[in-house]
Amino acid sequence: MSSTVHDRNRWTLTPDRADLRRPARPPRSIELSALPQDLSLDLERAALLIVDLQNDFCHPDGWLASIGVDISGTRAAVETVAAALPAVRAAQIPVIWVNWGNRPDRVNLPPNVLHVYDPAGDGNGIGSPASSLSTAVLEAGSWGAAVVDDLTIVPEDIRIDKYRMSGFVDTPLDSALRNLRVDTLLFAGVNADQCVLATLMDAANIGYDVVMLTDAVATTSPSYCLDATVYNVRQCFGFTATAADLVKTL
């Protein structure tokens, strides 16, 4: 798919002419059950964004588990995404992994971001050792920042490191999506009420169509946080559907 991805936004060049017309991409329409309304989608203009399904958040040897957080709820999202990926890739929908992957020196992280993960200032947050496997919490290139062991990235997938709750702040995500000629974003990952929601809100605010796949998101927060998130996505930002219905439709 990599050549197809790059071909989505290109000029045709000869020594004496630049043809600025982009390649024609006939619509590939599907009908998807969703709330608050059913959707008609063009797969040629869609992408799947998978947020923070990484070892530090979702693996029993990762950072959250090491500090006593119950990560069992994340398993459903991991399993749902694993089941959906073959159909998504077969449909040539770009798969974009948006994960925390911080600089080792943390020079681009303001104090409020560091505080979220180390509220007492004990030095146990981003960049600190977390377990025998996670050498540096959420640090780019570390085991903890890698996509959770249960999931596989293929060469055609796209990886974006993020440094905030939102995957759009200080990252090339928006540029990548615009070069892919994408309008509609399908959201999966964790935590639904935190990084998934922050990324979804920013996407909606800059004009993307957003759809949260409710069986492909999860959170370690109390259940009422997820309830409020789903309500607000439908009420304020876009739509909710399920990965199961998407796969069935594909």
Q: What tokens does 129 get?
A: 């050792």
List all residues 6 or more positions away from 24 whose beta carbon is below 8 Å from its beta carbon.
none
Q: Which residues are catalytic?
A: 52, 162, 195
Using an 8 Å Cβ cutoff, are 236 and 73 in contact? no
Pairing of strands 17-19, 95-100: unpaired
Calculate the alpha carbon distances from 74 to 64, 115, 137 in Å: 11, 23, 18
Question: Beta-carbon neighbour count of residue 164 at 10 Å?
Answer: 20
Task: Match 């998101």 to its residue by tokens.
Answer: 217
Q: Which amino acid is at 68?
A: G
List all residues 6 or more positions away from 154 whose beta carbon is below 8 Å from its beta carbon.
89, 95
Pairing of strands 17-19, 12-14: antiparallel
